[in-house]
Structure 1
Amino acid sequence: MALMPILWIALISLAVWAVMRLTQHSAGRHDATEPRNAPRETPEEILDRRFASGEIDAEAYTEARKRLAVHRPGPR
């Protein structure tokens, strides 16, 4: 009888821990090595990185740069 409150406290604590753990995982779907407040890469930076790593060739790089320049808002 005396163990019943301890059992309930343990079960409630376990439930709270599980909910906290699940919400932290689903809210932060990013690489664990990347800090949460790290600045996001611009499209140009992503394109430069992909070209430098060899994911895309020079023709695709040039075409993508042109498209980005057209859609990028200029100074007003």
Structure 2
Amino acid sequence: MMYWNGGWAWVTLMPLLWIALIGLVVWAVLRLTQHSAGRHDATDDPRKAPGETPEEILDRRFASGEIDGEAYTEARKRLADHRPGPR
């Protein structure tokens, strides 16, 4: 009789352990397949180029009215001055 005092705990914990293990495997598979399918944004890997160039972002912000014409012109000039060119 002394051996069965903690038996109910194992009967309860074993199914929970298996559910957690299966959930972890499913999560890992989904996470890996999403990255291999290319469903991640540019912030996942800083070496990869973002979807928009700085000029495209500037154009979009100007078109949406976030910045005025003067700020747009100045920003375009600064971007052109800091663009690496052939040496």
1:71 aligned to which of 56, 60, 82: 82
For 1:32, the equivalent position in structure 2 comes to: none
Distance 1:36 1:12, change over 3 A: closer
Number of the residue aligned with 1:46: 57
Any idea what SS the aligned residue of 1:72 has?
coil
Q: What TM-score does the superposition give when structure 1 sets the normalisation length?
A: 0.59
Task: Tell me the distance in 1 between the aligned counterparts of 2:85 and 2:56.
Answer: 18
What is the deviation of 1:74? Answer: 1.6
Partner Cα distance (1:41, 1:53) in 2: 16
Matched-pair identity in %: 58
Residue 9 of structure 1 is matched in structure 2 by 18
**1:31 maps to what in 2?**
none
Higher Cα Rg: structure 1 or 2? 2
TM-score scaled by length of structure 2: 0.53
Q: Which of 1 and 2 has higher RCO (CA within 8 Å, sep 6+)? A: 1
CA RMSD of aligned residues (A): 3.4
Determine which structure has the larger helix proportion and give its number: 2
Q: How does 1:12-51 map to 2 (within 5 A)?
A: 12-14=21-23, 16=24, 20=28, 24=31, 35-36=39-40, 40-51=51-62
Uncovered stretches (5+) of structure 1, i.e. residues with no partner: 29-34
User: Deviation string for 1:29-63 (max 9, x for gaps)?
Assistant: xxxxxx53786100000000000110000000000
